[in-house]
Amino acid sequence: MFKKNDQHLQTQMFSTIDSLPARVRERLEQSWAGTFYREFFSRIDEEEFSVLYSDVASRPNVPVNILISLETLKAGRGWTDEEMFDAFNFDLQVRFALGLYDLGEHHFEPRTLYYFRSRLTEHMQETGENLLESVFEQVTDEQLSAFGLKTGDMRMDSTYVASNIRITSRLHLLVEVLQRIHRMLSEIDQARYADTFAPYVAGSSGQYVYRVRSEEGWDHIERIGMVMYQLISDLADDYADEPAYQILQRVFSEQFIIEESHPRPREKDEFPSRTLQSPDDPDATFRRKRDKEYTGYVTNVSETCDPDNDLQLIVKMQTAPNAVDDTTLLEEAMPDLERLGVRTLRTDGGYNNRQTAQSADERGIEHIQTAIRGGSAKGSGLHHFQIGMSADGEPVDITCPFGQKTSIQSKKPGRFIAHFDINLCETCPLRDQCPSKPLKRDPKQALYFDSHRIEIARRRQRIDAERRSGRNPRAAVESTVRSIKHPFRQGKLPVRGLFRVTSMMLASAMMCNVRRIHRCVTPKTPETTGSPASAVATASSEIPILLFLRQLWTRFRLPDARSVYMSVPN
């Protein structure tokens, strides 16, 4: 039964926190734990999670805001589950961050959190709604409002993350799938196909691959293809709904091609973009970018970057298989960015295509990129021309870099032509680099272009203007990406599956926002007492005084008792 947690709003008469000295408690409230409690824990709307619990009168649930906060702390600190529970049970700061004032309250078993994660996953599969994403959006909106942050200027970047899977060879993957099919079969079917599976179930899949010479690998793959082809047909009636059988179908279709009723292994350049990398994580995909290979997922980060803001917050997180292009992620993010009132969006060159440009224009968003996909323009391109636009967004006139201005004519929808005076063009110092061409039958210089080239030219003009300004507001988003991935060693998360990876990246982003808020609200001037700077200053000021006192002691010191005793005659 769902019950909202409001006990943290009630002041206790006696608690562990109350027994602390006043100065210690004040320091605790001003630490990250106090910021976490005020700016994250207290803002969580638990009502949305009531759908996960029964309406029948029963034992109340463990507070949802505590479970969500623990997931956030775990992702933000890179904890294991064991470390997370130790911190929850014994760390006073962690408990204070969760609104707990006494070490003896709200204890629960680890399986409670496991069941909570399972219910979140089932809810996502049934409804398509990620409740953790809803928390991220709701809490972030409140934080933006509380600190009066402007959201008109934003930046975006993507990064690759890996799930907790083992990177295996092609043969290793195929043998592993066969072994799982064997475990799926009933005892009767295992006996029926004993000879078929015998070579592949004698040991682990790794042991099978270890015994295969590199030059023999292709022959083994071909034989496994024949086995899979037979099993897919024979097991369809009895095992079609089994996950292992569905993995078998997918792997076979991705790894082999049927030619004349015979399976042929695919060549390296024939693999589809969403090839399965591990039977433990069907959502993870493979991608090669700039001669580097990535396995897993891609996460897209959007954050504010208005220079008037006291701090910048992450406002949008997206996670997808890494075969998904940046332009697709940008297109999916557009509605949320529009809701937040973005007017300028800064990205790198991987986010541009016709569809994203059209979507940005329709929403009144100025899309500024650091580069254009496809390489730089050579010579004097269309972006060196000034194009005048009408109120309807149609090109009206054009001015070349040499200063010659002429009107634009439309021959077909979306296609345009401009005629320049050839006499002036012959005296132009940029003639050899000009994209316009002389006409054969008419003494004119003609420039042909279309709507897409106009849009590309406008992007290049924005890039050039940004470079001339000496500012690059987009660059800081790369450090944001680094801070989100920092808790995870080499960008590899300790979970598998798209939902769990998405949830962990959301939690890490929420913790990143809390850290930024804490740095903003914490006084930036160090205290004069107890700080390293003050200690150095004090020591430096004491050095001359100590030297002076030592000189006085050396000059006026009295003889000690031993010297007096030794000087007495017998």
Report pLDDT digits (tens) over 213-264: 989 999 999 999 999 999 999 999 999 999 999 999 999 999 999 988 899 9
**DSSP letter assigned to residue 312:** -
pLDDT 10s digits, 34-82: 999 999 999 999 999 999 998 888 888 899 999 999 999 999 999 999 9
Does residue 567 carry a pLDDT above 50?
A: no
Structure tokens at 71: 């997931």
CA 517 to each of CA 32, 34, 66, 67, 71: distance values in angstroms, whole numbers, following the listed order = 9, 11, 20, 22, 19
The C-alpha atoms of residue 380 and residue 377 are separated, in whole angstroms, by 8
Structure tokens at 482: 């680094």
* Confidence class for position 570, pLDDT limits 50, 70, 90: very low
**With contact defined as beta carbons under 8 Å apart, do 16 and 508 qualify?**
no
118: enclosing H helix or E strand: helix 110-127
pLDDT for 555 equals 56
Structure tokens at 531: 């700080």
Does residue 300 carry a pLDDT above 60?
A: yes
Q: At what angle do helices 354-362 and 326-339 cross, to 10 degrees?
A: 10
Structure tokens at 427: 């005296």
Three-class DSSP category at 543: helix
**With contact defined as beta carbons under 8 Å apart, do 515 and 480 qualify?**
no
Structure tokens at 523: 């006084």
**96-105, 193-202, 372-381, range with the lowest pLDDT:** 372-381
Of 440 and 123, the structure prediction assigns the larger pLDDT to 123
Distance, CA of 468 to chain centre: 30
The C-alpha atoms of residue 251 and residue 175 are separated, in whole angstroms, by 11
pLDDT for 128 equals 92
Of 550 and 113, the structure prediction assigns the larger pLDDT to 113
Q: At what angle do helices 170-184 and 217-234 cross, to 10 degrees?
A: 30
DSSP 329-382: HHHHHHHHHHHTT--EEEE-GGG--HHHHHHHHHTT-EEEESS-TT-PPPSS-G
* Confidence class for position 540, pLDDT limits 50, 70, 90: very low
| Cα first-last separation, the chain | 99
pLDDT for 537 equals 42
Beta strand pairing call for 444-450 and 415-421: antiparallel
The C-alpha atoms of residue 202 and residue 175 are separated, in whole angstroms, by 11
Nearest Cα residue to 451 out of 404, 405, 401, 382: 382
Amino acid, single-letter form, for residue 146: A
How crowded is residue 159: how many other Cβ atoms within 10 Å of its Cβ? Answer: 20
Does residue 208 carry a pLDDT above 50?
A: yes
3-class secondary structure for 157-171? EEEEEECCCCCCCHH
For the chain, the domains span 7-129, 170-276, 371-471
Beta bridge partners of 389: 395
Mean pLDDT of 306-321: 95
pLDDT 10s digits, 421-465: 888 888 888 777 888 888 877 888 888 888 878 777 877 777 777
Does residue 88 carry a pLDDT above 80?
A: yes
Three-class DSSP category at 472: coil
pLDDT for 470 equals 62
How many degrees, rounded to 5, is the angle at CA 227 between CA 225 and CA 229? 70
Mean pLDDT of 170-192: 95
Largest CA distance in the chain: 135
Mean of the per-residue pLDDT values for the chain?
A: 86
177: enclosing H helix or E strand: helix 170-184
What is the CB-side half-sphere exposure of residue 487 using CA atoms within 13 A?
20
